[in-house]
Amino acid sequence: MDATLRRMLVPLALTQFIASFAGSNMNVAISSIANDLNTTVQGVQIAITMFLLTMAALMITGSKLTDIWGRKFCLTLGLIVYGIGAVLAALAQALPLLIVGYSMFEGVGSALMIPPVYILTTALFTDTTSRAKAFGAVMGAGGVGAAAGPLIGGLITTAVSWRASFLLQALVVGGIVLLSRQVADAGIQGAKPTFDLLGSILSALGMFFFVFGIQQASTSFTLMLGLMAVGVAILAWFFLHIRAVERRGGDPLLRTDLFRNGASNLGMVTQNVQWLMLLGISFVVSVYLQVVRGYTAIQTGVIFTAATVGVLISSALQGRFAQRRSPRTLVVAGFVLALVGMGLLLALASATSPPAAFLPGLFVIGFGIGGMLTPSVNVVQSAFPDERQGEISGLSRSVSNLGSSFGTAIGGTVLALTVAAGNKSYALALIALGVFGLLGLLASFFLPGGTAGQPAPATGGAMRRRHEPRPTA
């Protein structure tokens, strides 16, 4: 990888870092924000989940706009919208403005700026080795952002205020805008696709109602099932819509053949569960430490340093791992380690245990999840040719961010439902997340084996039937 490409990779990796950071840094400031804005822990949880959900619900739309408006333009626009949202959140005096700035503006900004990161990375790094390293850097930055969010957020909240964390985000995205000017973009080649407005609305509404329904479990089980059913019905309508547009020869928001590739589908399942576990565990443990144990934001953040170190080490070793082991082996090992780490948290960390009891489990979780983020992305991105990277990148990022919102929603819901159980609510929430981890482990066994550093060719699906060449990542 030459120096010019490395310089272009920096703003792309930083963009993924700041979006992942925004999803977890709020966790350690939950008590401070709730007290300052005269709201509840559940109110702050809604803001966090709404941010992740907005990002996930609009990620596919953002990817399509990237194909219409241009990659670099969407990257810059997304960063600017994100920065405006960070400033609004910093000025919030009540929960509604926090939701507008953080959940809505930052969520929309993320949906615009994240798809170009993966599309540009694929376009700039064309050979197997450099592309694998580039994706490793981007995914490593995302993992570190999510894992380091509690530590950085805790330091800033304790030293200054939770508001300063948002101002820092605004400064960082301003710097990324300047750095991104050096990113080369060949622009859109050929005819631009038309925008599928109805498809965009249906996909966003379907995902919103489904995840929002999960959040309502603590309020009404009937309401939860009703909202989730509405979400499923709208998503079914969305699928019928895009299939009808395809048959008319139009440009749907997504083409249905994206769902016919077995390797890609399995890779996205593992991505979803990875982020579900990472953000879910971060939320559950953060709430437990602050609400039950009475720890401050900085104390909570320092404890999460163990997870950050785990992600950093596994990310640094990613290139060596990829040369020696197949993506399937790396993802399976990552899930096993993450589940072992959750077991350590349950076994060692109790109501009376010292803070150090949380460190082994968090380190192993961070190491395991950090080691499987990149292989899963490689499997998905490598299943489609370069001209399909816009579509698959948006779908892949949407699935991953849905995992983040699922993790926060599920963890928060179990905590709220089992509040009467006291300290046991923490264990029950982790067990619920662990069940999903087991499902992710099961899916990872069916990933293509391939050879060290190279995914195996996808079997079945549209790719094989159309005999299209597959780039490697």
Please tell me whether residues 148 and 238 are part of one structural domain.
no
Nearest CA to 286 among 49, 21, 41, 56? 41
**Predicted local confidence at residue 312, as pLDDT:** 84
Whether 105 and 220 share a structural domain? no
pLDDT at 287: 84
Do 220 and 173 lie in a common domain?
no
For 33-75, what is each residue's pLDDT tens digit? 999 999 988 888 788 888 888 988 898 899 889 888 988 999 9
Give Cα separations from 263 to 304, 328, 330, 373, 472 (angstroms): 33, 10, 15, 15, 13
Most distant CA atoms of the chain, gap in Å: 64
Q: Quote the domain boundaries for residue 298.
A: 3-182+253-466
pLDDT at 443: 94
CA distance 392 to 396: 6
Q: Alpha-carbon distance 394 to 374, whole Å?
A: 16
- 101 and 81 within one domain: yes
Q: What is the pLDDT of residue 466?
A: 36
Residue that finishes a domain, picked among 232, 252, 272: 252
Residue 159 located in a structural domain: yes
- Model confidence at 454, in pLDDT bands (50, 70, 90)? very low
Structure confidence at residue 471 (pLDDT)? 36
pLDDT value at residue 421: 59
Contact 371, 333 (CB under 8 A): yes
- For 316, other C-beta atoms within 10 Å of its C-beta total 12
Cβ–Cβ < 8 Å for 223, 216: yes
Question: Does residue 344 fall inside a structural domain?
Answer: yes
- Between 238 and 140, the higher pLDDT residue: 238
Report the pLDDT value the prediction gives residue 452, as an integer from 0 to 100.
41
The answer on 226 and 122 residing in a single domain is: no
Instruction: Give the DSSP H or E segment for 75.
Output: helix 71-91
* Region label for 190, one of left (φ > 0), alpha (ψ between -120 and 50) or beta (otherwise): left
Q: Is the separation of the CB atoms in 448 and 455 below 8 Å?
A: yes
Q: Is residue 473 in some structural domain?
A: no
Within this chain, do residues 403 and 420 fall inside the same structural domain, yes or no?
yes
pLDDT score recorded for residue 190: 67
Q: How many CA atoms lie within 13 A of 171 on its CB side?
A: 7
Structure tokens at 464: 């094989």
Lowest mean pLDDT among 16-25, 174-183, 245-254, 268-277: 16-25
* Residues 437 and 409 grouped into a single domain: yes
Of 252, 267, 293, the position where a domain reaches its end is 252
Do residues 389 and 119 lie in contact, with contact meaning Cβ atoms separated by under 8 Å? Answer: yes
Buried b (16+ CB within 10 A) or exposed e, 159-189: eebbbebbbbbbebbeebbebbeebebeebe
Same domain, 70 and 213: no
What DSSP string describes 109-140? HHHHHHHHHHHHHHHH--SHHHHHHHHHHHHH
Check: CB of residue 24 under 8 Å from CB of residue 150: yes
| Higher-pLDDT residue of 148, 403 | 403
Q: Is the pLDDT of residue 416 over 80?
A: no
Q: Is the dihedral of CA 332, 470, 2, 80 positive or negative?
A: negative
Evaluate whether residue 174 is within a structural domain: yes
For the chain, the C-alpha Rg in angstroms (whole number) is 21
Please give the pLDDT value at position 211.
Answer: 84
Q: Residue 187 domain-assigned?
A: no
Residues 223 and 339 grouped into a single domain: no
**Considering the entire predicted model, what is its pTM?**
0.80
Percent above pLDDT 70 for the chain:
92
Give the DSSP letter string of 429-460: HHHHHHHHHHHHHHHHTTS---BTTBPPPP-S
Cα–Cα distances in Å, from 126 out to 133, 323, 385, 473? 11, 18, 12, 8
CATH number where 44 lies: 1.20.1250.20
**Token couple for 466:** 């159309």
The residue among 252, 269, 287 that closes a domain is 252
Q: In terms of Cα–Cα distance, which of 111, 123, 129 is closest to 74?
A: 111
The pLDDT of 248-273, averaged and rounded, is 91
CA–CA dist 136, 10 (Å, integer):
12
Number of structural domains found in the chain: 2
Return the number of other C-beta atoms located less than 10 Å from residue 194's C-beta: 12
The CA distance from 472 to 377, in Å, is 12
Read off the pLDDT of residues 135-165 as tens digits, 9 standing for 90 and up. 878 878 887 888 788 888 888 988 899 999 9
Task: Assign 111 a pLDDT band (cuts: 50, 70, 90).
Answer: very high
Residue 189 lies in a domain: no
Dihedral of the CA atoms 69, 54, 29, 406 (nearest 10)? -130
The whole-angstrom separation of Cα 453 and Cα 374 is 11
Phi, psi of 102 (to 5 degrees): -80, -55
Question: Do 86 and 218 share a domain, yes or no?
Answer: no
Token readout for 282 is: 């971060």
- Residue 50, in any domain of the structure: yes
Residue 420 has a pLDDT of 55
- Which two three-digit tokens encode residue 421? 């159980």
User: Is 427 or 140 the better-scoring residue by pLDDT?
Assistant: 427
Instruction: Kindly state whether residues 147 and 235 are assigned to the same domain.
Output: no
Residue 403: which of 52, 96, 153, 147 has the closest Cα? Answer: 52
Asked if the structure places residue 385 within a domain, the reply is yes
Q: Same domain for 234 and 162? A: no
Q: Is 473 a residue whose pLDDT tops 60?
A: no
pLDDT tens by residue, 1-15: 678 888 899 999 999
What's the CA gap between 215 and 257, in Å, rounded?
A: 32
